[in-house]
Each structure stands twice: as C-alpha cells, then as structure tokens.
Amino acid sequence: MTPLLEVDDLHVSFATPRGAVRAVQGVSLSLEQGTTLGIVGESGSGKTVLSRAIMGLLPRHSATQTGSVRYQGNEILNAPNDELRQLWGTHIAMVFQDPMTSLNPVLRIGRQITETLRIHLDLTKSEAKETALSLLMQVGIPSPVERFNAYPGQLSGGMRQRVMIAIALACAPNLLMADEPTTGLDVTVQAQILDLLSTLQHERQMAMILVTHDLGVVATRADEIIVMYAGNVVERAPTNVLFTQMSMPYTEALLGSMPRISYPSHTRLLSIDGRPPDLLSPPAGCPFAPRCPYAQGKCHREKPTLVEGAVPGHSYACWFPLPIREKAATS
C-alpha cells in the first residue's frame, strides 16, 4: 500500500550573500493515513523548513530544493503553484506557529473561515456560514455566533489558535501539519490545544505531522518521532522506543532539558552547552560533536550516517551510540 506521504533524500538550501545555507540535508520519511509523526529539534534545526518544503511554501527565488516529496504517490516537490493550490486545504493543511501573524487582523473571523469553504468547496454564503459555526463549535470555541463576528485581536491566544485549527480542518484534509501549535500559550491552554488536535485527528482519521522543540509535546501524541539537528535527521524511532532506547546523545540532551513535575520548586533546568553550528560552514564531522560530552576524535573528523538499530524502525546517526557507551562503562 502506498504511504500517504513519502519524502526521499530532501535537500533545501537558501542563497545568501555569504553563500548557501543548507537548512535541510537528505531527509527521508513516510507517513501512513491516520498516524502521527513528531519532528523535534532546537530552533534552527531545520524542522520548520522541512514542513514548509513539504507544503510547497518556500520562496522559489531563494530556496533550492532537490529530492522527492510524494503525496498519494504523486510528486509535488517544485510543482506549479496552480497544482499546489488544489492540494492546500482540501488534501494538506497547516496550523502555523503564531496565529496572530497568520490571521488577517482587519477581517472578521467568520469571513476568514467561510472564504476557504467557498473557494474550495463551492458553498453558498449561507452554507459556508453554517459550516463555519459548526467548525467553531467542534474546536471548542464558546458563543460561536459572537466569535464569528469578532476580529482576531478580540480573541485570546488560545482562541486564535482554535480558529486556525478550524480553518485548517474546514475542507477535511487528509494530512494536517502543525508547526509549534502551542508556542506562546500557557501550560493549561497548550494541553487543551494538543488534546483537541489529537481528538480531531482520531475522529477524522487524518495523518498529522507535529513539529515542536519539546519532546514532552510528542511523548504521548506521536506514533513515531524524528529528531533533527543542523538540518539532519540524527535519530528516528517509534515513540516508545525513542524514550526507552535512545541512542543519539542529542536526543538524550533534549530529554534532559525537559522540566518534570517531580522536580522540586526552583530546580535549575539542564541546558545543552554550546550553540548549533553555522549552516554556511558546518563542521566536517558529526554536527553535534562540538557540543557532545561523549565526542571522540572520529566524531570530529567523519560525519555519521543513519544506521539501523536493534529494534525495527529505530535508526540513529552516531559513531558511539549510548547503549554501547553504557555497556563499555559497566564492563
């Protein structure tokens, strides 16, 4: 059976006065209908560029894209805009990071939802309004008639994000991409938004790609997780395997920087020393080597490729993966 989405050896670079920035380097992935993929990494790791490349939203005058992106078996990388517009909304939709910059501040919420419905589904004005009110109810917005006539600035951050979800789901897409959908929201609202996305995904049997910097966000919501660093996939695994048998030191560092309920009050969170590499001139070896507490000489000289782990579906890019170190330390 053909996967819903297939990405093969995708490379994305941007032309700058100082040279080419290699933002995504050789990423491959596949996604089945109804499943959730988490893409995790620090700011600058390439996860947002990857998601926008899949959607076809990168500026063509400055972004060079090679490789393959296939949706339902059809190549869509570098497809004409007219062809992509047939996919946007009806097949693939996206919830962006900041709803305040995604929503038009001078248009009422209702118009921004009904516009999508009327263009893609050819609904009448009254049909579109009825559907929009139903969508607002589905995403948990109280008093939908009142919110329908409100402007984005009159809504809270959580409500604006719910409106963005309503717009994304308006035409019943098969694939929903959520890029940091809880950024800037308080912890309670974050949980509500993530729970809402999970519920709607299961009800509609959509596939979902959840992009985040926080492993905790995808821990209970993703079937598989990809960890990115400096434009590279450095580890990928089913969620339960990643958290119990991680092999890449960067994954370990991300997990160690997560806050935990069990921590005493005012506990200082761990941080990852150093800074991500300059993508204009990345290091010769492993891109994480300058920050890795376990790095050895080979790590600075040779770049590792993804290799299969002992568990099916688990792969990592590390010369000296964590389990091997643990065995060496106890022997």
pLDDT along the chain (331 residues), means of 10: 93 93 96 96 94 94 95 95 91 88 93 92 94 94 94 93 93 94 83 90 94 90 96 96 94 84 74 88 92 94 94 95 55 31
Contact (CB, 8 A) for 289 and 248: no
Note the pLDDT of residue 299: 96
Domains delineated in the chain: 5-259+269-285+315-330 (3.40.50.300)
**pLDDT score of 23:** 96
What is the model's pLDDT at position 75? 97
pLDDT of residue 330: 35
Determine the distance from the C-alpha atom of residue 274 to the mean position of all C-alpha atoms in its chain, rounded to a whole number.
Answer: 24
Of 206, 213, 207, the residue nearest 227 (C-alpha):
213
For residue 77, the 8-state DSSP code is T
- The span from the CA of 199 to the CA of 146, in Å, is 25
Give me 192's structure tokens. Answer: 């509500």
Give pLDDT, residue 154: 95
Rounded distance between C-alpha atoms, residue 225 and residue 223, angstroms: 7
User: CA-to-CA distance for 253 and 218, rounded, in angstroms?
Assistant: 16
pLDDT of 324: 52
From residue 91, give the alpha-carbon distance in Å to each of 28, 29, 165.
Answer: 21, 18, 15
Closest CA to 229 of 294, 157, 142, 318: 318
